[in-house]
Structure 1
């Protein structure tokens, strides 16, 4: 894409108790990676890997120190906290493209994470580019370039019993959609931003970002419970691709996980089952 962003790399779900969160997502039918620990930061994680993207369950490595980024968010709620975009090329190339588009990305910063591997600890490494909040309104975003991608994906981490195969997009609740449009026109190109009376839809490579007000979200999805105190703006739901609707429904029924089936066949798992994250599951 013209700004150097290829789509969603991963979604960070902030949780108050990392081990309980892992157990909850295992019950949902996901196979997480071993626990990782961010070098130089008070955070740890489990990742749920797919072929091209993933979900990161992020928690405090020490119960008494959630850190300056995680603590304020968890004081309000659990759930999706940040979106990491994948670069189209290297981090250097992505930053140059962002600058050429008239945007103001931060300098590239390194990140390492110690991960327990089958042959012993390994350290996946990344290059990150923070994006100014005014240039991604409604979202807390950065660009994440993988320097050691071979350490992040092993076959046994990709075959999830629930049949989920990847991320399709996210749903973001905002007070108004119209003020968002100029920033996303500039970031992704006006041809990738569409609006209706109810939503603003941004196409980020193969992924879709859907912005709406809480009222419009409930109108589009009648019968889905939404916390009336949900803090705006925020990511309320993750849209996941599944290989087979019948397979996923059978797994959820067997695990005694409550879900709704919408008219078009999408399965919806309530946020109470996934650490504050609504999950939309549909073939893709």
Structure 2
């Protein structure tokens, strides 16, 4: 399905994975073959992160660094749901355009920054967030992110991953009745971006795919795993990725199609899927 014109939202900027121990998560994703950036800390909040950067998107490992400060409910989510996929940020070149296009579904843009602890000194990447009202993105926690200091986000050495990963393909989210979600996502992305099938709804967001799939269908595709969100990462050489993971002693699951699946116990509660670019 070709990428349709979707207005002010241009794709997926990053996914968020909630973790109970940031340093342990950094080691976990390093063992999976990802290069992890230096630590970041949100200004005025008690949360911090490590990021896995790709040329056009990234994965954020989000954890608590100061429980006495504002945590944006991360502590509650970790206590009630455990580690795993928290949601995603859509990419938006212009946050005001998102709010103007969907004034009844969004809050006005808010700026935020984080301290990024580089070896040569701390820098401050800044971004603008547009939060959706709950009814705007049913079945998914999502917001829009515009980077105000993009030059601080990526260095060549951060984009080189030992497992051959080169970017996000998309996300698959369990949904009891995907069909009922269609009107909300049509409002955001337009009818051309949606493709429905039995027990599934596919939403094309720029170069990325957002899939809502009934739990029974997920169980059939990923046998032996409890239905959970799936994060699909593209790689240059699937055989090379598989060999790397095997060399790290990480068990993988065989699924239909050219895919390698890492069970959630090896990826902080996320089903991590590798696909050939």
- Report the TM-score range of the alignment, normalised by the length of the smaller protein: over 0.9
Structure 1 residue 64 displacement after superposition: 6.4
Q: CA RMSD in A?
A: 1.5
Match of residue 56, structure 1, among 53, 60, 81: 60
**Partner of residue 260, structure 1:** 253
Structure 1 residue 78 displacement after superposition: 0.8
**Partner of residue 242, structure 2:** 249
Superposed, which structure 2 residues align to 1:115-134 within 5 Å?
Answer: 115-134=116-135
Q: Where has structure 1 moved over 4 Å in runs of 4 or more?
A: 63-66
Structure 1 residue 97 displacement after superposition: 2.8
CA distance in 2, matches of 1:92, 1:248: 40
Superposed, which structure 2 residues align to 1:1-284 within 5 Å?
Answer: 1-62=5-66, 67-75=71-79, 76-87=81-92, 89-99=93-103, 103-219=104-220, 221-226=221-226, 236-284=229-277
CA distance in 2, matches of 1:3, 1:209: 17
User: Where does the alignment leave 5 or more consecutive residues of structure 2 unmatched?
Assistant: none
- Normalising by structure 1, report the TM-score: 0.92
Native 8 Å contact 2:46 2:65 kept in 1: yes
Structure 1 residue 200 displacement after superposition: 0.6
**Partner of residue 233, structure 1:** none
Native 8 Å contact 1:47 1:56 kept in 2: yes
- Normalising by structure 2, report the TM-score: 0.94
Structure 1 residue 95 displacement after superposition: 2.3
Q: Aligned residue pairs: how many?
A: 272
User: Where does the alignment leave 5 or more consecutive residues of structure 1 unmatched?
Assistant: 231-235
Worse overlay, 260-269 or 207-216:
260-269
CA distance in 2, matches of 1:208, 1:245: 19
Worse overlay, 254-263 or 37-46:
254-263
